[in-house]
Amino acid sequence: MKILVPIKRVHDAYLRPRLAPDGSGVDLEKAKMSMNPFCEIAVEEAIRLCEAGEASEVLVVSVGPGACQDVLRTALAMGADRAMLIEAPLHVEPLSVAKLLVSIVEREQPDLVITGKQAIDDDSNQTGQMLAALLGWPQATFASNLERKGAEITVTREIDGGLQTVAMALPAVVTTDLRLNEPRYPSLPNVMKARRKPLETLSPDTLGVDIAPRLKVLKTEEPPPRKAGTRVADVAELVDRLQNEARILRAES
Amino acid sequence: MTILLVIEAEATGLSETARRAFGAARQIGSADILVVGTACADTSAQAAKLDGVGKVFVAEGTEAEGLTAEVLAATVMGLSERYDGFAAAADSVGKNFMPRVAALLDVMQVSEIIAVESPTVFTRPVYAGNFRQTVEVPAGEKLVLTVRTSAFEPAALGTASAPIETVPLIVPETGTARFVSESLAGGERPDLATARIIVSGGRALGSKERFEETLRPLAERLNAAIGASRAAVDAGFVGNDLQVGQTGKIVAPDLYIAIGISGAIQHLAGMKDSKVIVAINQDEDAPMVKLADYSLVGDLFELVPELIQALPKSDA
């Protein structure tokens, strides 16, 4: 089984993003960038399937500027076998990414695509589902468990009311939720080894995909600030303020 | 502009989430509803009474079990030529199937809208709610939207009933996930997504048992839903269905009481639009304490029982 893992390079999840002063959106010029956390989980899951003997090859792909090579090298250091970079501008819409991935799927014929359920920058939560639709493949989004059972995979999904289990014949698309696994840190020897693993560069033009954006971003702004809060001295003051100031709790009659 | 709003049939009838999503759809234009599920009678009868609904389609059958994305998307596509746009609540069903509809229509989806600026301009949160972005869909292109329902008021129910029409559930011949089973937490507490008051706990609760014995009496006294931070869910204190945050439930109750939650950016993203926020925390520098309208610093295991004692006996 060959697994394709699309990954995205995003603003580091643990640092606070800032708006660029020119109003162009979030300032990514000097920001620390990392692999999208959900994509890290996807890479980890694919590598674990290889280690368990269920899969034979893990191919990672990213869409973006040349700097995306760093997250691809991270995935290779974690244990992926090969990487592909589709060189494109910083912002590519999920629909365009899905179309680029269709062309990679046609070239590489993977049996399974595992990717993050959403990127923590635009929070779109679309690419995996769009890819599945364009390929006519089944999908299992928000996966918290994945098992291969013969020609099928069984996926447990996190849904609003609890958990849902679905089975899919391969090929299929899976998107990862938080509790699927805990991604490993690459060891130093593996980081060194990853430098020699193959990384191919492609372009949307050679793949024949138009990536012109469909949506026009009119503005990106801070949400209105909340008013400063009050430190209350004790429980009595808290209840009094909730009753008489915020008027959230009914006062005792 | 005519929108088709897709809603899930619920055992309890038309949900508040669906009414809020309809409220959003009506801000865009006229709106019809498609009810999908295995037993739709109650939900569709109530949906037909929504103020301003043109028509209610019902796609009912065992094929809808589990509300798989492939079936929902194909069924919606069966009606696609009649509509200028498609909307669904950004719950785990809407997020799952709607991007398939967008891809099949060759348009971009606008995810989790929080405001309708015009029939083609929408505002949505990005970067875990750190920013909001306003985007325009090109004129003449079909709209595909998911709605963050906590940002919209529920549409009212009228007395007139719109016509109800049955449409087939469409199951693609190949490439469809097969529903196996569901384990739903269910429970006696109010639904997290629509509760007026939420009592939410974090890692500081220490264990599953202490989470339960500390938070439940307070939730019961306030008739509140129980929520949790990702850390509390990861630690196994409660199930994933109670997680509030960027990737869990997005909530905006009248009152959110955060107990032992430090306030990771991903958690704040899920609750910072609550009307009043109370933080009970040991650490006065915790981000949640800084965000809160009222903060109480100290040992939660002493303060929470004290709070239960101090609350009026009747419901809030």
- By the 8 A CB rule, do B214 and B201 touch? yes
- List, in order, residues 6 or more apart from B96 with CB less than 8 Å away: A129, A139, A141, A142, B67, B69, B72
Task: Using the predicted structure, report yes or no on whether residue A253 has a pLDDT greater than 50.
Answer: no
Please give the CATH superfamily to which domain B2-166 belongs.
HUPs (3.40.50.620)
Nearest CA in chain B to A166: B179
Percent of chain B with pLDDT over 70: 98
Quick one: what percent of chain B has pLDDT higher than 90? 88
Asked which of A3-12, B23-32, B241-250 is least confident by mean pLDDT, the reply is: B241-250
Chain B nearest CA to A95, separation (Å): 6
pLDDT value at residue A252: 58
Percent of chain A with pLDDT over 90: 87
Structural tokens at position B155 = 């549409």
Q: Cα separation of B301 and B254, whole Å? A: 24
In this structure, what token pair is assigned to residue B113? 């809208």
Give residue B214's pLDDT.
97
A183 close to B (CB below 8 A): no
Say yes or no: do domains B2-166 and B197-310 share a fold.
yes
Q: Which of A161, A222, A234 minimises the CB distance to B241?
A: A161
Amino acid residing at B79: L
For the stretch B214-268, pLDDT in tens is 999 999 999 999 999 999 999 999 998 899 998 788 899 999 999 999 999 889 9
Average pLDDT over residues A54-64: 97
Q: Supply the pLDDT for residue B190.
A: 84
Per-residue pLDDT at A15? 86
What 3 state SS string does chain B have? CEEEEEEECCCCCCCHHHHHHHHHHHHHCEEEEEEEECCCHHHHHHHCCECCEEEEEEEECHHHHHHCHHHHHHHHHCCHHHCCEEEEECCCCHHHHHHHHHHHHCCCCEEEECEEEECCEEEEEEHHHCEEEEEECCCCCCEEEEECHHHCCCCCECCCCCCEEECCCCCCCCCCCEEEEEEECCCCCCCCCCCCEEEEECHHHCCHHHHHHHHHHHHHHHCCEEEECHHHHHCCCCCHHHEECCCCECCCCCEEEEECCCCCHHHHHHHCCCCEEEEEECCCCCHHHHHCCEEEECCHHHHHHHHHHHCCCCCC
- Name the more confident of B240 and A165: A165
Which residues of chain A does B283 touch, with a Cβ-Cβ cutoff of 8 Å?
none
Is it the case that residue B161 has pLDDT exceeding 90?
A: yes
Provide ipTM, 2 decimals. 0.95
**Structural fold of domain A2-207:** Rossmann fold (3.40.50)
Residue A245 DSSP code: T
Q: Interior CA angle at B19 toward B16 and B20, to 5°?
A: 90
Domain B197-310 belongs to what topology?
Rossmann fold (3.40.50)
**Bridge partners (DSSP) listed for residue A62:** A7, A85
**Which residues of chain A does B176 touch, with a Cβ-Cβ cutoff of 8 Å?**
138
Alpha-carbon gap, residue B270 to B128, rounded angstroms: 8
User: What distance lies between CA A223 and its chain's CA centroid?
Assistant: 24
pLDDT of residue B315: 52
B106: left (phi over 0), alpha (psi -120 to 50) or beta: left
Arithmetic mean of pLDDT over chain A: 95
Taking the Cβ of residue B293 and every Cβ of chain A, the question of whether any pair is shorter than 8 Å is answered with yes
- Would you state the pLDDT for residue A145? 97
Q: Chain B: residue nearest A159 by CA?
A: B92
The answer on pLDDT for A210 being more than 50 is yes
What pLDDT does A76 receive?
98
The lowest-confidence range among A18-27, B75-84, B194-203 is A18-27
How do the domains of chain B map onto residue ranges? 2-166, 197-310
The closest CB to that of B230, out of A135, A178, A216, belongs to A178
Note the residue count of chain B. Answer: 316
What is the pLDDT averaged over residues B85-114? 97
DSSP A21-68: TTSSSB--SSS-EEE-HHHHHHHHHHHHHHHTTS-SEEEEEEEESGGG
